[in-house]
Structure formats: structure tokens, C-alpha cells
Structure 1
Amino acid sequence: MAKSKTGQAFSATLVSGGLYKRNQGRLVRQLTAIGLVAVAIFGAYSLYNVLPLGMSAGVQKGIAVAIVVVSAWLAYRVVNFPRFADFLISVEAEISKVTWATWDQLWRSTAVVIVLMFFLSFLLLAYDMFWQFLFKWKWIGFLQI
């Protein structure tokens, strides 16, 4: 397996319980783990609904719960894998540098986008109606509806 900068392979970190750089990139790492577990829960629920009908409900639930538990552990280990954790730490550092728009700027920009979209849709409607009229004209007769 490929080794990370710290010299550990991902398979070696699967059995450890330690945290890598505990207080750095904490929010991004927690949200990433929550997202991964949410995907696992939805996947386990979908699998639970399509498992064979002859299987007992206890076995179906056991398989789904096992998938969620294993996925939760993998999510915990992935966000503490040194290369991925360093990436998430740098993501949080870059996000903190972003200058976010104020609510007033956000509303004005949204209004400009909505007005422009309506204008462009009406302009395309006008072009469409013009070309439809032109092609239905008796001398051209391209569209025979």
C-alpha cells in the first residue's frame, strides 16, 4: 500500500484509536465524518429494504446495523488518516480566509440573477415565437403543423 507522509499506511491506522492533530480542522473533520455516516445509514436502509424476503427481520436488521457500525468506524478512521486529515485541516484554513458577502449584498446579487433569468427567458421566448412564425409562413412552409 502507499504510505503517507508520516510513513503509515491506511491499513495500519484502521486498528488504532488515536486522533491525528486533535484540535486542528475539527469542524470540517466532524462534518465530513457525519456526512460519511449519513451516506452509510441511507445505504444500509436501502439495503435493508431490498434484502431477500425469505430472510428473517432480525438478520436483515443485523446486517444493516453491522454496515452502519463498520462504516462509522471507517469514517472515524478516514478523517484521522494523516494525509486526509491534513487536507481537511488545510480546507478549514482556506475557508476561514474567505470574505463572505453581507446579507444586503446577497439579496442584491440574488435579485440581479433572478431578474436577468426572467429577462433571458422572455428574450428566448420572443426569438422562438419569431422563428416559429417565420417557418410557418406560407412562402417558406418549413413547419407544416
Structure 2
Amino acid sequence: MAKSKAEQAFSATLVSGGLYKRNQGRLVRQLTALGLVAISIFGAYSLYNVLPLGMSAGMQKGIAVAVVVVSAWLSYRVVNFPRFADFLISVEAEIGKVTWATWDQLWRSTTVVIVIMFFLAFLLLAFDVLWQWFFRLINFLQI
């Protein structure tokens, strides 16, 4: 079977060493690659812990390191795959358009949320006590 253009492009990207649109979306691509590598490190650590006990420690470590190295290379290549890189570049551009709240607005909003949470907790407690009293009054609850 013949490979599609997308499959050919992806396999060609995996073996190349170049960067796609080097200066665009740099931060988000670096952080994405770092996140993927961190996930692979945790996965390799878990794999190291579940490999058969009959294996030598050197072989267990070698397999875990190989998984991390291959995952790191794949992470580097995936964030430079044109379609994914363009997506990450557009994500960074959209994040740059966001109007972030000031610290004062953040504190006020947080205070409102916490006060409402305590108010609702008190209200639910009051309803619970009221219904317990009512059900005991009509002898529905025997405690």
C-alpha cells in the first residue's frame, strides 16, 4: 500500500533535524516538549519498577533510559511537525490576546468566591438541621 502524503511528511519529519518556523511559538513549543519529556520520564520510572525481577539492574536501567531517549527525540520532533507546530504557534498568538485580570481584581474575585462558598455551606447545614428536626418531630427518624 502506498503511504499518504501526511504519513510521508510525518516520517520525513521524524528523521530530520531541522526546526520548523524557528522563532514562532518558541515558548509554547518548548514547554510542550518539556511536558512530554516529563511524562515519558515518569513512564520510564514506572516501567523500571514493573520490569521482571529476573532482569539485571543494568538491563532495567538501560531499557528505562532508552525509553526516555526515544521519547525525548519524538517529543522534539513532534513539536516541530508542521501541522502541530502551526497549532502551537496559533495557541501562543491567542494567549497573547487574552486580557488578564489585575492582582486587585483577582483578590476581590477570590474573596467573593470564598465568602459565597462559606455562605452556601452554612445554608446547607441549616437545611440539614431543619429537616432533621422536622423528621424527628413527626417520628420519622428514631435516633
- Give me the TM-score of the superposition, normalised by structure 2: 0.92
The Cα of 1:55 is off from its aligned counterpart by: 0.7
**2:48 counterpart residue number:** 48
Paired residues for 1:1-145 under 5 Å: 3-4=5-6, 9-137=9-137, 139=138, 141-145=139-143
Q: Which runs of 4+ in 1 moved over 4 A?
A: 1-4
Residues 87 and 3 (structure 1), Cα distance of their counterparts in 2 relative to 1, 3 Å cut = farther
Gaps of 5+ in 2: none
CA distance in 2, matches of 1:88, 1:2: 24
Cα 1:82–1:129 shift into 2, 3 Å: same
CA offsets 1:24-49 (integer angstroms, 9 cap, x no match): 00000000000000000001001111
Distance change in 2, residues 1:11/1:76 (3 Å): same
Spell out, residue by residue over 1:92-123, the C-alpha distance to the aligned partner (whole angstroms, 9 max, x if none): 00000111111111111111111110111111
Shift of 1:8: 5.3
C-alpha distance after superposition, 1:65-101 (max 9, x if no partner): 0000000001001100011000000000000011111
Query: Given residue 140 of structure 2, which amino acid in structure 1 is its aligned partner?
Result: F
Give the residue type in structure 2 aligned to 1:95: I
Does the C-alpha gap of structure 1 residues 93 and 13 become closer, same or farther in structure 2, counting only changes over 3 Å?
same
Alignment coverage as a number of residue pairs = 141
Shift of 1:144: 2.7
More helix by share: 2
Whole-angstrom distance in 2 between the partners of 1:132 and 1:16: 70
**Distance change in 2, residues 1:11/1:142 (3 Å):** farther
Tell me the CA shift for residue 2 of structure 1: 5.5
Q: Distance in 2 between matches of 1:34 and 1:136?
A: 60
- 1:50 Cα offset (Å): 1.3
TM-score (normalizing by structure 1)? 0.91
